Chain A
Amino acid sequence: EAGVTQFPSHSVIEKGQTVTLRCDPISGHDNLYWYRRVMGKEIKFLLHFVKESKQDESGMPNNRFLAERTGGTYSTLKVQPAELEDSGVYFCASNPSGAKNIQYFGAGTRLSVL
């Protein structure tokens, strides 16, 4: 069974550009989470989907970030326009309904904004 997959593994863009990160959760997992780790800091929660609905988006830093999960399968996280402080590693995690506390993580996307 495939784990959580994230694409791309690394993205280097210039300030002001747009970047879209993708996460494919484990098949059948209704819950999908996005997290971000800025260099040397803790991993911070961004948002939580249950199927296609945003359950909690309290961690989204500002309106330059847009997350979608159309159809309740894969999710995208778009940053537009990207700023220098958006650099970091973006993790995605998923779990099935009823297992809300044990999350399965992807390898992350390393975003570098120059």
Chain B
Amino acid sequence: AQSVTQLDSQVPVFEEAPVELRCNYSSSVSVYLFWYVQYPNQGLQLLLKYLSGSTLVKGINGFEAEFNKSQTSFHLRKPSVHISDTAEYFCAVSYNDMRFGAGTRLTVKP
């Protein structure tokens, strides 16, 4: 069975600072990895995905994530955040079904 751990429940940062949201997963088989974002009062929106190929994946809004098989991690990064990036971010792993982490609430302060 797969499981996902998001190591930080809340991450406060100042505008234009870099940010990393951490995600570790466990699985006995190869899986697909995703990051979703939920802005206030909206649904879950796909930020980026890793299915195969290059381990560095670029997504929307300047976010990127790196798949590290040896460390079973898929951390999300952005070099310079904006106020509009304030949202909740979910890491997910998929094989036969999709498993989510508990979410990380990113708050960007001016």
Contact = CB atoms under 8 A, between A and B. Distances in A.
Interface residues of B, number: 23
A91 B44 contact: yes
Contacts of A4: 43
B57 to A, nearest CB: 13
Contacts of B94: 101
Interface string A88-99: 000101000000
B102 interface: yes
B98 interface: yes
Interface in B19-63: 32, 34, 36, 41-46, 49, 51
Interface residues of A, number: 24
Contacts of A35: 100
A102 B4 CA distance: 17
Interface string B62-99: 00000000000000000000000000001010100111
Contacts of B44: 91, 93, 105, 108
Contacts of B9: 40
B3 to A, nearest CB: 9
A3 B98 CA distance: 20
Interface in A55-114: 56, 91, 93, 101-108
Contact of A56 (B32, B51, B97): B97
Nearest to B33: A101
B97 A105 contact: no
Interface of B: 4, 9, 32, 34, 36, 41-46, 49, 51, 90, 92, 94, 97-103
